[in-house]
Structure 1
Amino acid sequence: MTNAVPRHRRRIATATTMTAVAAFVTAGVALAAPSNADSGSATLAGSTPAYATASADLGQSGTAATLSVRVYLAGQDQAGLAAFARAVSDPSSATYKHYLSAAQVQQRFGASQKQIDQVSTWLKSAGLTVAGSNTHWIDVTGTVAATQKAFGTQLHNYRTSDGTLRAPQSDAKIPAALSSVILGVTGLSQSTTHAVTNHQTDPLTAKKGPVSNNDPSCSDYYGQKKAPSTTPAVPSGYTTPATLAQCSLVPSELRQAYGVSNTGLTGKGATIAIVNWYGSPTMESDANQYAVNHGDKPFAPGQYSEVNDPSQYTNQAACGFGDYGEESLDVDMAHGLAPDAKVITVAANSCFDSDLIAAEAKIVDNHLADIVSNSWGEIMYSTGGDMTQAQMQAYDQVFMEGAAEGIAFDFSSGDCMNNDAYSISKGLNCDPTSSRAQVEWPTSSSWVTSVGGTALALNKQGGYGFEAPMGDNRSGRTAPGATSWVPAGETFGGGGGVSESIAQPWYQSWTVPNSESTTLMSGAKAAHPMRTIPDISLNGDLYFSSTLVGQTTNGAYGEAGYGGTSVSAPSWAGILADAQQAQYGIPVGFANPAIYARSFLTNDVVQNPKQISGSPTHSVVFQYPTSSGPGIAGQYRLIQYGVDEGLPASRGYDEATGVGSPNAWFLRSFGFGH
C-alpha cells in the first residue's frame, strides 16, 4: 500500500520471447538484479525516490512507527505474458483474438500459491505481518525496524518542497532466490503524488434545454450565429470571431458527428467498465434522467451496475470525496455513445495507486468488462515523489493480463498539454507539481489506448464539420458594451508527447514519424524511437464544443458543460463497444494495433482546419446564458481555439491528436472479414 502524505490538488512485445522480455523491461519493468555487495541478495532498482538526496537527509526515521508495505509479484511467466498479450492483439498473428479466460490467465501467468508462500515466509521471518495476498501482491505491516531488516536498507526522513517525507536511504534488497518472484515493493517511501481527473467544468455553461435548444446565447452548429455587436473588438493575435460558440453537445450529436448513427451500431453485447474513486449514490438515476432529457433511452433493468464498498474508502480529503462530476461524465458519455452496452462502475477506494491498481485488477481477475475507461492520470516526475518502477510494473502486468483476456484499457491523455512550466502556470486543470515537460501515466503505458482531445464543429445538418486540436486560450469575463477584453492568459489543451523511459511499441513503428518519436520533450534526441501519445482523439474542448453532463449536487439534479480528455476517453470506450458489435460481438481487445492498422480511415485532425466557409478562423465568442444569474448572464469570453501549445497537429500522426478521430468507415471496418 502507498503510504502517502495527502495534499489537496486541483482536478486532475514482440515476435520472440527474448524480444518480449526486452520490450517489457523497457516499458518500466526492471527485474531484480544480484547485488555486487552481497551475492545472497538482489537489489530492487529504482526503489529510492529522486528526493532522497544526501543534502536533504534529516536522519533516521523513528524505528517504532508502523508501516504498510505492498510487495508486487512477478507471476509465473513474465516474458510469456508479454509475448502472448502481443500475439493475441496483433492482427498479423495466427493467435489474434484467441483470448484466454480470466481463470486461464491466472493459472498460466499469475503468481502460484507456492510463490506466494515463499515470499510470505520470508516477510514473516523478518518480523512483518501478512495482512492479505492474492496472485498480484502481498500486503504486509510492521515497524520501521522490521521493514529495514526485511529490505536491507535504512529509512530516513528527507526535506522536500512538499514537507518532510520518508524514504529508503538506498535501494531495497530482497533474497536473490526471490528475484524472479518479486516485481517490486511500494510503501517504503512516502509520496504526495496521486491521480487526478482530467476534466474541467464551468457550472455556467448549461446551455441546452431538456427538450430542444433555443438558447440565443449559443449556436446549434458552427457558424450559425454571429457574435453580438456588443462584444468588443478582438485583440491582436485573434482572428475576427465568426460565430457564437456552439451550445454544449449531447450524445446524439456526438453519435451523428462520429458516424455511429450512420452505422446503426449501439454497443449491444459489450460491457464497459468505468474506473474512478468512490462512487455517486445517485449515478444510475442521474444517467437515466440525462438520457431521457436528451432524447435517449435510460438504462434497461440490469444494464447498469456498480462495484464499490464505501466502508473501505480512504484519503477523502486528498481525493475530493463528494465530487461525482467525473463519474457522471464518464457514465453519460459511455452510455451515450453506446446506448445498448452494459456499463459497470468500479470504484477504487481512493485516488492513490495501490487502490487504483486494485480496481483494475478486480476487473481483470473477474472479467467484469470488455472495455475499461479511465479518465484520470498522474505526473510521472513530481516534486512530491516520482512514479516508482514497481507501480508502473504492477499496472502494466494487469494491462497485459487484460489484453490476454481480450480486455481493452483506455486512459485520457491529460488536459495540460506537455506539462511544462508554461502549461502548469497557465493551465485550467494542471497538476502543479510537474518538474519538467512530460507525458502522464498510465496513459503513456504501451498497453493502453491514450485518448486525446479535439474541438469538434458541427455542420448545418448536425454532422461532422471539422475538428481542431484541443488547445484554447480564453479571456476573462467581459461585460456587454465593454471596449476591451479582460485578459486572463489561461489555456486548456489536450495532453500528448514522447515518453523518455518507454520504448516505442511495435504497433506505432509504421505510423509515427521518427522525427517525432525520437525527439524527447526536453528537446534532446533519443537513441531509439520512444512511446508517443495520444493514440486517437475525440471531442473534449471546454468552450468551443463543451459536452453537457447531468448529476445530482446537494440533492438537486442539474446539467453543466464539461470539457477535457475525460470527455474523450469514455466516448472512445463507447466507440469501441460499437466496434465490438460490428465484429459480431468479438471483443476488440487491446485496441492499439487495430487503431494503427486503420489510421488511413480516421478523420485527420490538423492545426488549421478548413472551415465550412472555406477560410480558416481561430476564435469564437462564448456568451453566458440568461440562466447564469445576475452579474454574469450575458457576459462574454473570447475563445481562441486550435492553439498550438507545443504539440502541433499535422497531417498524419501527431502528438496533439494521434491518428485523428473515428468515423463511420472506421467503425464499419471492424465487420470486414467476420
Structure 2
Amino acid sequence: MRTPRRRPRAAVAAAGATALTAAALIAAPFTGAATGSSAAGSSAAGPAVGPVPAVVGHRLVKGADRPLSDEQCRATWGINCYTPLQYRRAYDLEPLYRAGVTGEGRTIVIVDSFGSPTIQHDLDVYSEQFGLPSTRVEVLKWGDVPPFDPTDADQAGWAGESTLDVQMAHAVAPGARIVLVETGVAETEGVTGLPEMMDAEKSMIDRGVGDVITQSFGATENTFPGFDRGDFSSIGKLRYAFEDARRHDVTVLASSGDGGATDATADGGGDYPYRVNSWPSADPLVTSIGGTQLHLDDSGDRTAPDSVYNDYGAGGGGQSHVFARPAYQNGVKDVVGDRRGTPDISMAAAVDGGAWVYSSYDPTAVGWDVYGGTSEASPLFSGVVALADQFGGRRVGDIHQALYALSRGESRLTGIVDVQDGTDNSYDGVTGYPAVKGYDMATGVGSLDAARFVPALARAARPH
C-alpha cells in the first residue's frame, strides 16, 4: 500500500515555544490542499512533513493549553485565530438560534478514514470552553478499522481531520445529531480508500441515516486509472452513493481543496504544473465548498469584507476535466465554459483566520490547535444545511438549482454574499481564478448570511 499524501483542505497551528518550527508545522493535506508553513517566518506554503492523509487540513498551531485572543494570536504567530462564537456573529447565526433553529431533529454524517478515539471527549471540552451544548457523536466503524496508533502519522492526520469536521459541524448546528463513519483504508490519490467510503455512505443513505453528508477528502481527477486515455469509468463506478443520495434527497458536500487551481500528483510528491481538479468536489451531484478568508474583530464583526482564501494554501477551484457543465451552471457558462466548475459556494478556510479546535488523540500534544483549509469549510456548511432542513421541515436535498437561482437574486433577500476582492486562488506556480462580481471559480457564488440564506434555501429547494 502506498504512503498516503494529503494536502490540507484544512490546516493547523501549534502553540508554545517551538510552535512554529518545521517539525511542529503540519500540513494535513487533502488531495490538493496546501501545506502549512511558519506563519511567523514565511508567507509561502512549505512541503508536507511526513505522510499525511489525503484530506487533512492545514495545522499551523498545535497543542496550546488554551485558546488565545485574536490579538495574542497575531502577536505570537502572525495570524488571526477565531472561535465558534466569532463565527456565529460573522455568519449571522444568532437570529436563527433565538428562533429555535439549531439543527435539532437533523443528522450530519461525516466520513473519515480511521477517525479519532477521543472524538466525544474532545467535542465535550470544545463545547464547554465556548458555552455550547454538547451532543453525542455516534461512531460507526465501516470495515476493518485498525486500533488507533497516535505514532502513525497517517492515522494521526485523519484523527485531526475527524476532530475538525465534528467540531465545525457542531459549531454551526449545535442541535444536530452527528454520525462519524470511520473507514479502515486511508483515502489518498486515485481510487484508494474511496470504495470503502462510498460503500459506507450508500449504507447510511439506504438506512435513512443522515440528511447531509460532508466529505473533507478528495483525489485529483488525473490520478484515477484511465484518465490519461480519456477513460473516466474508474470515477463513474464510484458515483453510486451520490446517485443514491439524490434519490433520497440527501445533500452531499465536499471540500474543494487547498491547492488553488492545481492539486496533488499520484505519487504525492508535489502538484501538477497546470490546472486540474479533484473528485468528489467536481462531481455534479456534489455541492463543492470552497474557501474564504474572514476579517473579524474579537466580537466577530467584520473589519473588512470576506476575501479569497490564499495564504498558506488556496481554495480549490476550476474546471473539471471529467464532467461536462451541468444544467444548473448554464447561467454561468461564460465563466465555466463547457465543463463543470467549482466551487459552488464558500465558507471560512484561510489559515490566517483559522479555527480553534481541541484534541487529545495524541497524548504528546493535548490541547488547542488552529486549523484552516476547505476541510473546515465543508463541515461548517453542513451545519448550515442542517439548519435549512429544520427550518423547512424537510430535507433540502440536492441544492444546486436553488443555490444558483438564489445567486441571481438580491443579497438582502437571499443571504448570498458575493466575494469580489479581485484576488485569485493561484497556488504552487499555477495561475488561478480571480474573485469578481458574480460567480467565479475562486469562491463560487460567494459566501452567506445565514439568517437570510437558511430560510431562502429552505423555500427555494425542490427535493424529489
Give the TM-score of the pair, scaled to structure 2.
Answer: 0.76
Match of 1:409 in 2: 252
Unmatched tracts of structure 1, length 5 or more: 13-193, 220-226, 232-243, 425-429, 473-490, 519-528, 610-617, 619-639
Alpha-carbon deviations, 1:400-425, whole Å to 9, x = none? Answer: 211111101100000000117xx98x
Given that 1:382 and 1:435 are in contact with CA atoms closer than 8 Å, whether structure 2 keeps it comes out as no
Given that 2:259 and 2:315 are in contact with CA atoms closer than 8 Å, whether structure 1 keeps it comes out as yes
Give 3-state SS (helix, strand or coil) of 1:321's partner.
Answer: helix
Residue 433 (structure 2) pairs with residue 665 (structure 1): no
The verdict on how the C-alpha distance between 1:208 and 1:644 changes in structure 2, with shifts beyond 3 A counting, is farther
Correspondent of 1:9 among 5, 12, 18: 5
Correspondent of 2:203 among 344, 362, 369: 362
What is the Cα deviation at residue 450 of structure 1?
0.3
The verdict on how the C-alpha distance between 1:644 and 1:454 changes in structure 2, with shifts beyond 3 A counting, is farther
- Equivalences for residues 424-503 of structure 1 within 5 A: 432=270, 434=272, 436-459=274-297, 461-465=299-303, 466-472=305-311, 491-503=312-324
Q: Percent of counterpart pairs with the same letter?
A: 29
Residue 75 (structure 2) pairs with residue 217 (structure 1): no
Match of 1:505 in 2: 326
Given that 1:582 and 1:668 are in contact with CA atoms closer than 8 Å, whether structure 2 keeps it comes out as yes
The verdict on how the C-alpha distance between 1:565 and 1:258 changes in structure 2, with shifts beyond 3 A counting, is same
Aligned counterparts of 2:161 and 2:310: Cα–Cα separation in 1 = 21
Alpha-carbon deviations, 1:453-487, whole Å to 9, x = none? Answer: 00011256523442001012xxxxxxxxxxxxxxx
Aligned counterparts of 1:365 and 1:497: Cα–Cα separation in 2 = 32
Match of 1:290 in 2: 126
Aligned residue type for 1:263:
L
Aligned counterparts of 1:319 and 1:400: Cα–Cα separation in 2 = 34
Match of 2:335 in 1: 516
The verdict on how the C-alpha distance between 1:589 and 1:431 changes in structure 2, with shifts beyond 3 A counting, is farther
Match of 1:202 in 2: 60
The verdict on how the C-alpha distance between 1:289 and 1:531 changes in structure 2, with shifts beyond 3 A counting, is same
Aligned counterparts of 2:156 and 2:143: Cα–Cα separation in 1 = 12
Given that 1:250 and 1:547 are in contact with CA atoms closer than 8 Å, whether structure 2 keeps it comes out as yes
Aligned counterparts of 2:102 and 2:60: Cα–Cα separation in 1 = 30
Residue 137 (structure 2) pairs with residue 304 (structure 1): yes
The verdict on how the C-alpha distance between 1:252 and 1:644 changes in structure 2, with shifts beyond 3 A counting, is farther
What is the Cα deviation at residue 322 of structure 1?
3.3
Match of 1:327 in 2: 162
What is the Cα deviation at residue 245 of structure 1?
3.9
Aligned counterparts of 1:464 and 1:431: Cα–Cα separation in 2 = 38
The verdict on how the C-alpha distance between 1:390 and 1:318 changes in structure 2, with shifts beyond 3 A counting, is farther
Alpha-carbon deviations, 1:587-628, whole Å to 9, x = none? Answer: 11112122112213311111259xxxxxxxx9xxxxxxxxxx
- Equivalences for residues 593-632 of structure 1 within 5 A: 593-599=401-407, 600=409, 601=414, 602-608=416-422
What is the Cα deviation at residue 500 of structure 1?
2.3
Alpha-carbon deviations, 1:225-261, whole Å to 9, x = none? Answer: xx89xx9xxxxxxxxxxxx642x21222212211111
What is the Cα deviation at residue 363 of structure 1?
1.6
Aligned counterparts of 2:283 and 2:86: Cα–Cα separation in 1 = 31
Aligned counterparts of 2:418 and 2:442: Cα–Cα separation in 1 = 11
The verdict on how the C-alpha distance between 1:376 and 1:318 changes in structure 2, with shifts beyond 3 A counting, is farther
Residue 182 (structure 2) pairs with residue 343 (structure 1): no
The verdict on how the C-alpha distance between 1:392 and 1:604 changes in structure 2, with shifts beyond 3 A counting, is same
Given that 1:255 and 1:337 are in contact with CA atoms closer than 8 Å, whether structure 2 keeps it comes out as yes
Given that 2:224 and 2:234 are in contact with CA atoms closer than 8 Å, whether structure 1 keeps it comes out as no
What is the Cα deviation at residue 551 of structure 1?
1.0
Aligned counterparts of 2:218 and 2:269: Cα–Cα separation in 1 = 10
Match of 1:554 in 2: 362
Given that 2:62 and 2:368 are in contact with CA atoms closer than 8 Å, whether structure 1 keeps it comes out as no
- C-alpha root-mean-square deviation of aligned residues, in Å? 3.3
Match of 1:32 in 2: none
Aligned counterparts of 2:356 and 2:375: Cα–Cα separation in 1 = 13
Aligned counterparts of 1:644 and 1:292: Cα–Cα separation in 2 = 43
Give 3-state SS (helix, strand or coil) of 1:197's partner.
Answer: coil
Given that 2:70 and 2:298 are in contact with CA atoms closer than 8 Å, whether structure 1 keeps it comes out as no
Give the TM-score of the pair, scaled to structure 1.
Answer: 0.53
The verdict on how the C-alpha distance between 1:307 and 1:255 changes in structure 2, with shifts beyond 3 A counting, is same
Aligned counterparts of 2:256 and 2:61: Cα–Cα separation in 1 = 23
Aligned counterparts of 2:65 and 2:269: Cα–Cα separation in 1 = 29
Given that 1:540 and 1:564 are in contact with CA atoms closer than 8 Å, whether structure 2 keeps it comes out as yes
Aligned counterparts of 1:294 and 1:410: Cα–Cα separation in 2 = 26
Given that 1:451 and 1:569 are in contact with CA atoms closer than 8 Å, whether structure 2 keeps it comes out as yes
Match of 1:105 in 2: none
The verdict on how the C-alpha distance between 1:288 and 1:365 changes in structure 2, with shifts beyond 3 A counting, is same
Give 3-state SS (helix, strand or coil) of 1:411's partner.
Answer: strand
Aligned residue type for 1:398:
A
What is the Cα deviation at residue 517 of structure 1?
1.4
What is the Cα deviation at residue 557 of structure 1?
3.2
Given that 1:384 and 1:433 are in contact with CA atoms closer than 8 Å, whether structure 2 keeps it comes out as no
Aligned counterparts of 1:548 and 1:354: Cα–Cα separation in 2 = 32
Aligned residue type for 2:336:
S
Match of 2:16 in 1: none
Alpha-carbon deviations, 1:338-392, whole Å to 9, x = none? Answer: 0000000011221222212222222222121000000010111139875963332
Match of 1:395 in 2: 238
Alpha-carbon deviations, 1:533-580, whole Å to 9, x = none? Answer: 0000000001x2011111113336311100100000000000111111
The verdict on how the C-alpha distance between 1:401 and 1:215 changes in structure 2, with shifts beyond 3 A counting, is closer
Aligned counterparts of 1:552 and 1:298: Cα–Cα separation in 2 = 17
Aligned counterparts of 2:389 and 2:380: Cα–Cα separation in 1 = 14
Match of 1:589 in 2: 397
Aligned counterparts of 1:431 and 1:369: Cα–Cα separation in 2 = 36
Give 3-state SS (helix, strand or coil) of 1:344's partner.
Answer: strand
What is the Cα deviation at residue 583 of structure 1?
0.8
The verdict on how the C-alpha distance between 1:204 and 1:499 changes in structure 2, with shifts beyond 3 A counting, is same
What is the Cα deviation at residue 280 of structure 1?
1.0
Alpha-carbon deviations, 1:147-200, whole Å to 9, x = none? Answer: xxxxxxxxxxxxxxxxxxxxxxxxxxxxxxxxxxxxxxxxxxxxxxx9711411
Given that 1:382 and 1:434 are in contact with CA atoms closer than 8 Å, whether structure 2 keeps it comes out as no
Give 3-state SS (helix, strand or coil) of 2:376's partner.
Answer: helix
The verdict on how the C-alpha distance between 1:431 and 1:258 changes in structure 2, with shifts beyond 3 A counting, is farther
Q: Hey, which bits of structure 1, 4+ residues long, moved more than 4 A?
A: 204-208, 213-216, 316-319, 383-388, 671-674
What is the Cα deviation at residue 439 of structure 1?
0.8
Unmatched tracts of structure 2, length 5 or more: 9-51, 188-192
The verdict on how the C-alpha distance between 1:460 and 1:285 changes in structure 2, with shifts beyond 3 A counting, is closer
Match of 1:647 in 2: 433
Give 3-state SS (helix, strand or coil) of 2:237's partner.
Answer: helix
Given that 1:348 and 1:358 are in contact with CA atoms closer than 8 Å, whether structure 2 keeps it comes out as no
Given that 1:9 and 1:318 are in contact with CA atoms closer than 8 Å, whether structure 2 keeps it comes out as no
Aligned counterparts of 1:332 and 1:645: Cα–Cα separation in 2 = 33
Aligned counterparts of 2:61 and 2:69: Cα–Cα separation in 1 = 19
What is the Cα deviation at residue 396 of structure 1?
2.2
Residue 86 (structure 2) pairs with residue 253 (structure 1): yes
